[in-house]
A and B are shown apart, each in its own frame.
Chain A
Amino acid sequence: MVSTHDPQRPDPDALLLQIKKQEESQRRGKLKIFFGASAGVGKTYAMLEDARKRAMDGVRVLVGYAEPHIRPETEALLLGMDILAYKIIEYNGTTLKEFDLDAAIEKAPELILVDELAHTNAPGMRHTKRWQDVAELLAAGIDVYTTLNVQHLESVNDIVERATGVKVKETLPDSVFQSADEVQLVDLPPEKLIERLEEGKIYAPDRAAAALRHFFSMGNLLALRELALRRTADRINQDIDTLRQGHAAAKASAVSERIMVCVGPSPFSANLVRTAARMAAAWKAPWIAVYVEVQTSSGLSEAARQRVTRTLNLAEQLGGEVVTLAGVSADVEIIAYAQRRHVARIIVGKPAVRGWRRWLHRSFVDRLIQRSGDINLELIREDADRTSTAPLRSETERWDLRGLTWAFAIAGFNTALGIILCHVLGLSNINVIMFYLLGVIWISARYSRFVGTMTAVVSVALFDFTVVPPYYSFAVSDTQYLLTFAAMMATGIYISMLATRLRRQELLARSRQQHVEMLLKSSRELIVCSDHKTLLKVSVEHVAEFFASPAGVILLGPAGRPVVAHASPDLVLDDKELGVADWVIRHGEKAGAGTSTLPSARAIYLPLKGVRSTLGALCLIPATSAQLTYPEQMRTVESFAAQMAMAFERIMLSEESQRAWEQTEREVLRNTLLSAVSHDLRTPLAAITGAATSLLQAGDVLTAEIREYLLHTIAQESMRMERLIGKLLDMTRLEAGETRVARELFDVGEVIVSAVDRWRQNDQHRAFKLDIADSLPQVSGDPLLIEQVLSNLIENAMEHAPSESPIEIQAMTRGSMVLIRVMDRGPGLPPHDTQRIFEKFFRGGANASRSAGLGLGLAICRAIMQLHQGSISARNRDGGGAEFQVLLPTLTG
């Protein structure tokens, strides 16, 4: 690959990444690893010494965990230091002392010492590995000092095993080692180490002898020391590179060639992955571990499947990208994917197939080589003696009794048919061959390849025995038949192979289709959810149905406590389980059954990760403990969780914007209200004040006529103000939901008459034309509120219509409703605002500024009608004027 930019100029992306990393590490604690070739080199001692120095500088240091069987000179260093109590765990009758993570975080020291980074925690602790505890400490902003021996590094695990013959079980992902802020090598020449061991300074004397024999041989120690030195050197190189990239010389190989490693169910795959990781580290190349599902996983034995999962997990831990492909043949898929991702180098295991099969059967590697084109292939020798002989295919496929029974039955039937055809009807035995082949196809299409092959073999044997002369003997008189047998056998076996492959593809396609269908269906269903209650319900039902197990969604409640937001009825979670959910939400990583964090939980918890934060956790109790170890199942749950989180976030964002919109709407309303109140209430007040003060000051001078006029003004304007305030109060009450509708039966006619009466007294000259239908049904509701509606409508009409024009009011039955029409001959409604007139503070008409209202009257009407499940609408009348229609439900409605 060719880098196009100037090698002297730093890559801006790389710089950005570096800054980002720096920023992140400002918030995170710093990790320092005291690294050694083996136990006894003095790592803990060096760590404690360093920590004491820091403590003297005023740093708050806490000894989180130091190995219990500590050596005397080391113990002296612990004197006077703040030491955290162990967490005591009872397990299978033994008492284990473990690091107490929660207590440590609670104490919140600036620096904490945790010995033995590669340690595996006792069952029942939050994390399975101590380095996960350390990661949490770092995330909490606490600096950590820890110790590590080289043999625990995952990527050198196989080298250590080969060099020392000891398989180290406790391993640490290299990424943890890589990401450490500082690595300090604690070195001691092997001779000195052996000396110390013999002096009993490392282990008690009885154990020292055993240790010497097993592990601390000169050869081993030399090998380990070399490894440790090399790893430290690698890290130094890495540091220098980072520095250089920042300065100027970003190397062209920074965008280096991708490496791909092919993972299979063979136990050797783990070593392949380690090799790939080491190569990638050496070349600073990104790498991908690829597994191709050629048949459904159910075709693999349980052990093989778990091996694949373990190997892929290992690759992930070592910093590789993990990809699972599915397809008809592994070589095609691998090469296609490699080309797509611009992979330069593929690492494959060299198969240990020997003898004649090598010739008969072109291996996967052969096919890969043929297809690889310009991609380099790296063949790594498989360790023949260590390749597990564990069967890769399920046992059930081999000894399928039902299949075999059918195979023999079909072969028997064909034989009987052959006997009839040849011996009774005297036909040529060639015809019988066709029937046998038909039988093989039929069997192969339904049962395993083994059964298919067996059918072919048995068929040939029976054919020979019954219809090939000499009859009823396996002997063959005509050697020509041998050729027939061979052809028949080959055809049978080949057909059975083809049929089996077809069936596998079908199964594979079906399983993938299920996966895709589930995701498709769920995405369709999730997309139509418009509020998060439905979303929760839909997604929980979906997951529960697909996995046939109880599921639920957990969100953080008001007090920051996890709360089950929605769950299948059969999902019961105790406090301990909710604690796991809490952890998942806070850390944004999956945990629980089938994972490496809190694996003792009954359910698995997946984070619902949004762009900004983790929104909640999806919880699923697997039907069987093995269910979620299938990679494709886990993948489905994970894809679903991702989908759900997206839908969740979408809804949350839309709800948020809705709230923001309502907020601005409220602001606008408040401003309108303020200006309305200040203007409209002040106008009558000004008139009153004016009139009253004139009377007070010049009452004697004014003529009786003017005095009367002023007094009238005061009275009228006061009443106007009273109406305004009344409306403001009404609107406020209606909006606050304080107005309760008194549900009683009342007569619409009475209410109309009463409302008209109110206004008739105010304006003696106005004509009202009432037309109230006989026998109107009684209406249920609050008569006072309905009278208010009518009164507002009449007031509105009186304001707008010329005083000589009549106001018409009609009431009639309209279906199950009562319709009231209030009509005037005023200027009518503004043409485009027939709906807006019902909005608050909207004032229509030319004489808007002089109108007595605040623009609240009609808004109040609408609010009251909504309370009554009725409606109000307005339109312009033929011949001019406005018409308001009020529809009130009756009891029969």
Chain B
Amino acid sequence: MANAAAVILVVEDDPPIGRFLRAALDANGYRVLEAATCAKAMMLFNQMAPDAVILDLGMPDCDGMEVVRHIRRLAGTPILIVSARGHERGKIEALDAGADDYLTKPFGIGELLARLRVALRRPIRMDEPSEGMVTVGDITVKPDSREVTVAGRQVHLTPHEYRLLMVLLRHAGKVLTHKQLLKEVWGVGYGFETHYVRIYMNQLRKKIEPAPSQPRYIYTEIGVGYRFNAED
């Protein structure tokens, strides 16, 4: 593993879950920092500058949101939200505030490790698209000429579709909420016309997905937003 000694901050107040996370992460070669309160989480983040944060939103001493905001003020460190079922609002709020991904309790450890891997890889990609060409699976994009090819076949994208695709690529692996996509693609003046996103996403899928009914690249997170899957 390229970054074998990646440091993960686990913010979780429930001891059994904390223990099981630590065991799984240890076993997979990560270094684990544990915090059972928000205060300790923020302190540890300041001191140790971890590579990623796994954060349970339901902390006893404060709203998990504060931790998200605290981290985002300081750095772009990937944040994985862990939330209980039925707390969709908090989840979306956290994603809007800059969290990268979420998992709903209970979750399998395989799922968690996969998400963590994607999150840790992502920041590297962030500065890259300037290099002339971006390739994900069958999709190739030339930012200079705005040329998009899927499996060697050139596709025509409208300006909005193109911008949408670029935003997704830039944040590949990260869950983007409808609101975030609106802001990124249409601009700051938009905030509630989330059905625009759906309509354009539908068009985009038809153009780049090999089988739209079984998406390969663009995953829907129902009620939340979309995620671009760069993995195979």
Which residues of A does B touch, CB under 8 Å? 715, 718-719, 722, 726, 729, 733, 742, 744-747, 749-751, 753-757, 760, 770, 772, 778, 782-784, 787
Nearest to B109 among chain A residues (CB) is: A715
Q: Is A784 in contact with B213, judged by CB distance below 8 angstroms?
A: no
B61 to chain A, nearest CB (A): 26
| A-chain residues with CB within 8 Å of residue B214 when the two chains form the complex | 753, 757, 760, 770
B residues 166-219 with Cβ under 8 Å of A?
A: 194-195, 198-199, 201-202, 212-215, 219
Answer whether residue B2 sits at the interface, using C-beta atoms and an 8 A cutoff.
no
Contact of A744 with B202 at beta-carbon distance under 8 Å, contacts A718-B106, A783-B223 already known: no
Contact of A726 with B222 at beta-carbon distance under 8 Å, contacts A715-B108, A750-B198 already known: no
User: Which size class do B's interface residues fall under?
Assistant: 20 to 34
Q: Is B195 in contact with A745, judged by CB distance below 8 angstroms?
A: yes
Answer whether residue B149 sits at the interface, using C-beta atoms and an 8 A cutoff.
no
| B-chain residues with CB within 8 Å of residue A719 when the two chains form the complex | 106
Contact of A744 with B194 at beta-carbon distance under 8 Å, contacts A726-B85, A729-B86, A753-B213 already known: yes
Nearest to A725 among chain B residues (CB) is: B85
Q: Is B220 in contact with A750, judged by CB distance below 8 angstroms?
A: yes
| B-chain residues with CB within 8 Å of residue A749 when the two chains form the complex | 202, 212-213
Q: Is A747 in contact with B213, judged by CB distance below 8 angstroms?
A: no
Q: Is A784 in contact with B108, judged by CB distance below 8 angstroms?
A: no
Q: Is B194 in contact with A787, judged by CB distance below 8 angstroms?
A: no
Q: CA A51 – CA B199 in complex, angstroms?
A: 95
Q: Is A753 in contact with B215, judged by CB distance below 8 angstroms?
A: yes
Contact of A787 with B222 at beta-carbon distance under 8 Å, contacts A722-B106, A753-B215 already known: yes
B135 to chain A, nearest CB (A): 25
Instruction: Tell me which of B195, B201, B215, B219 has the highest count of chain A C-beta atoms within 10 A of its own C-beta.
Output: B195
B176 to chain A, nearest CB (A): 14
Nearest to B111 among chain A residues (CB) is: A761
Q: With contacts A749-B202, A778-B198 known, what are 15 further pairs, Cβ within 8 A?
A: A715-B108, A718-B106, A719-B106, A729-B85, A729-B86, A745-B194, A745-B198, A746-B198, A747-B198, A747-B202, A749-B213, A750-B198, A754-B220, A778-B195, A783-B222
Q: CA A754 – CA B221 in complex, angstroms?
A: 8
Nearest to A721 among chain B residues (CB) is: B106
Q: CA A784 – CA B212 in complex, angstroms?
A: 20
A146 to chain B, nearest CB (A): 73
Nearest to B198 among chain A residues (CB) is: A747
Answer whether residue B88 sits at the interface, using C-beta atoms and an 8 A cutoff.
yes
Q: CA A747 – CA B214 in complex, angstroms?
A: 15
Write 14 A-B pairs (CB below 8 A) sorted by A numbering: A744-B194, A746-B195, A746-B198, A749-B212, A749-B213, A751-B220, A751-B222, A753-B213, A753-B215, A754-B221, A755-B222, A782-B223, A783-B222, A784-B88
Nearest to A758 among chain B residues (CB) is: B222
Nearest to A774 among chain B residues (CB) is: B206
| A-chain residues with CB within 8 Å of residue B106 when the two chains form the complex | 718-719, 722
User: 9 closest pairs, A vs B, by CB?
Assistant: A784-B223, A770-B213, A745-B195, A750-B220, A787-B222, A754-B220, A754-B222, A747-B198, A783-B223
Q: Mark B70-97, 1 if CB is under 8 A from A, else 0.
A: 0000000000000001101000000000
| A-chain residues with CB within 8 Å of residue B219 when the two chains form the complex | 757
| A-chain residues with CB within 8 Å of residue B195 when the two chains form the complex | 744-746, 778
| B-chain residues with CB within 8 Å of residue A782 when the two chains form the complex | 223
A103 to chain B, nearest CB (A): 61
B217 to chain A, nearest CB (A): 13
Nearest to A742 among chain B residues (CB) is: B223
A112 to chain B, nearest CB (A): 67
| A-chain residues with CB within 8 Å of residue B220 when the two chains form the complex | 750-751, 753-754
| B-chain residues with CB within 8 Å of residue A753 when the two chains form the complex | 212-215, 220
| A-chain residues with CB within 8 Å of residue B198 when the two chains form the complex | 745-747, 750, 778
Q: CA A751 – CA B221 in complex, angstroms?
A: 9
Q: CA A745 – CA B178 in complex, angstroms?
A: 12
| A-chain residues with CB within 8 Å of residue B86 when the two chains form the complex | 729, 733
Q: CA A144 – CA B195 in complex, angstroms?
A: 82
B132 to chain A, nearest CB (A): 33
| A-chain residues with CB within 8 Å of residue B222 when the two chains form the complex | 750-751, 754-755, 783-784, 787
| B-chain residues with CB within 8 Å of residue A783 when the two chains form the complex | 222-223
A778 to chain B, nearest CB (A): 6
Q: CA A72 – CA B88 in complex, angstroms?
A: 90
| B-chain residues with CB within 8 Å of residue A757 when the two chains form the complex | 214, 219
A99 to chain B, nearest CB (A): 68
Q: CA A750 – CA B88 in complex, angstroms?
A: 18
| A-chain residues with CB within 8 Å of residue B108 when the two chains form the complex | 715
B98 to chain A, nearest CB (A): 23
Q: CA A641 – CA B17 in complex, angstroms?
A: 70
| B-chain residues with CB within 8 Å of residue A733 when the two chains form the complex | 86
Nearest to A750 among chain B residues (CB) is: B220
Q: CA A719 – CA B85 in complex, angstroms?
A: 14
Q: CA A753 – CA B209 in complex, angstroms?
A: 13
Nearest to B223 among chain A residues (CB) is: A784
Q: CA A787 – CA B195 in complex, angstroms?
A: 17
Q: CA A502 – CA B219 in complex, angstroms?
A: 93
Q: CA A722 – CA B202 in complex, angstroms?
A: 33
A867 to chain B, nearest CB (A): 15
| B-chain residues with CB within 8 Å of residue A772 when the two chains form the complex | 213
Q: CA A772 – CA B211 in complex, angstroms?
A: 12
A732 to chain B, nearest CB (A): 11
Nearest to A747 among chain B residues (CB) is: B198
| B-chain residues with CB within 8 Å of residue A754 when the two chains form the complex | 220-222
A766 to chain B, nearest CB (A): 13
Q: CA A719 – CA B108 in complex, angstroms?
A: 9
Q: Mark B83-124, 1 if CB is under 8 A from A, else 0.
A: 001101000000000000000001010000000000000000
| A-chain residues with CB within 8 Å of residue B213 when the two chains form the complex | 749, 753, 756, 770, 772
| A-chain residues with CB within 8 Å of residue B85 when the two chains form the complex | 726, 729
A760 to chain B, nearest CB (A): 8
Nearest to B85 among chain A residues (CB) is: A726
Nearest to A753 among chain B residues (CB) is: B213
Nearest to B213 among chain A residues (CB) is: A770
Nearest to A760 among chain B residues (CB) is: B214
| A-chain residues with CB within 8 Å of residue B202 when the two chains form the complex | 747, 749-750
B190 to chain A, nearest CB (A): 15
Q: CA A760 – CA B214 in complex, angstroms?
A: 10
A785 to chain B, nearest CB (A): 9
Nearest to B195 among chain A residues (CB) is: A745
| B-chain residues with CB within 8 Å of residue A760 when the two chains form the complex | 214
| A-chain residues with CB within 8 Å of residue B212 when the two chains form the complex | 749, 753
| A-chain residues with CB within 8 Å of residue B223 when the two chains form the complex | 742, 782-784, 787
B159 to chain A, nearest CB (A): 21
Q: Mark B218-231, 1 if CB is under 8 A from A, else 0.
A: 01111100000000
| B-chain residues with CB within 8 Å of residue A770 when the two chains form the complex | 213-214
Q: CA A742 – CA B88 in complex, angstroms?
A: 11
| B-chain residues with CB within 8 Å of residue A745 when the two chains form the complex | 194-195, 198
Nearest to A761 among chain B residues (CB) is: B111
Q: CA A473 – CA B33 in complex, angstroms?
A: 141
Q: CA A742 – CA B223 in complex, angstroms?
A: 9
Q: CA A742 – CA B194 in complex, angstroms?
A: 13
B residues 112-143 with Cβ under 8 Å of A?
A: none
B89 to chain A, nearest CB (A): 9
Q: CA A197 – CA B220 in complex, angstroms?
A: 111
Q: CA A745 – CA B202 in complex, angstroms?
A: 14
| B-chain residues with CB within 8 Å of residue A742 when the two chains form the complex | 223
Q: CA A1 – CA B199 in complex, angstroms?
A: 96
| A-chain residues with CB within 8 Å of residue B199 when the two chains form the complex | 747, 778
Q: CA A708 – CA B60 in complex, angstroms?
A: 36
Nearest to A739 among chain B residues (CB) is: B86
Q: CA A424 – CA B19 in complex, angstroms?
A: 135
Instruction: Tell me which of A722, A733, A744, A751 has the highest count of chain B C-beta atoms within 10 A of its own C-beta.
Output: A744
| B-chain residues with CB within 8 Å of residue A729 when the two chains form the complex | 85-86
Q: CA A746 – CA B221 in complex, angstroms?
A: 12
Q: CA A749 – CA B206 in complex, angstroms?
A: 12
Nearest to A745 among chain B residues (CB) is: B195
Q: CA A52 – CA B215 in complex, angstroms?
A: 102
